[in-house]
Amino acid sequence: AGLGAEVQIVAAAVGVNIQLVPIFGITIPVIIRHGKTKANVTLNNLSILPADKDNKVPRLKFTIGRDGNRSAYGNLTATLNAGGAKTVLGQIMRLAVYTPNTSRTVMMPLRVPSGVNMSGGSIRLTYNELQDAGGKVMGEAELKVP
């Protein structure tokens, strides 16, 4: 969405009158694909950042790499596998890496339920297309938790 303003200054017989007239607008991105398109996605440089004074929960930091002739657009899910149990720790829905960008660094907040111990487990990060686009896995990576 956009917002602008037009300033009108009107000289009157007695003084100057200033009036702000708002101008509203909206921007809708349009992606046009022509011919055969493909995008390859990699998930790299996974690391866990601990909670601190600015961030009350730990975060999973990683880079999404993209190559090909189209944008990558989908959902990210981080799942902990510890002691045979799987727990979803975080999700980011509808995240894109638009062309011409070849990478994007992301920090995903992790919500670790009380009583769940991450030590010795592994976090699997999965990037899937949206369900209406087929839902296929575009990229996966795993991080062992010390």
**What would the pLDDT profile of 6-59 be if each residue is shown by its tens digit?**
555 555 566 677 777 788 888 887 777 788 989 999 999 999 999 999 999 999
**Cα angle: 67, vertex 71, 72; to 5 degrees:** 85
Percent of the chain scoring above 90 in pLDDT: 67
Q: List the structure tokens of 39.
A: 């995008």
Q: List the structure tokens of 7.
A: 């300033």
The one-letter code for the residue type at 43 is L
Distance CA 134, CA 146 (A): 35
pLDDT-derived band at 145 (thresholds 50, 70, 90) equals very high
What does pTM read for this prediction? 0.76
The whole-number pLDDT of residue 24 equals 82
Residue written as token pair 């991080």: 143
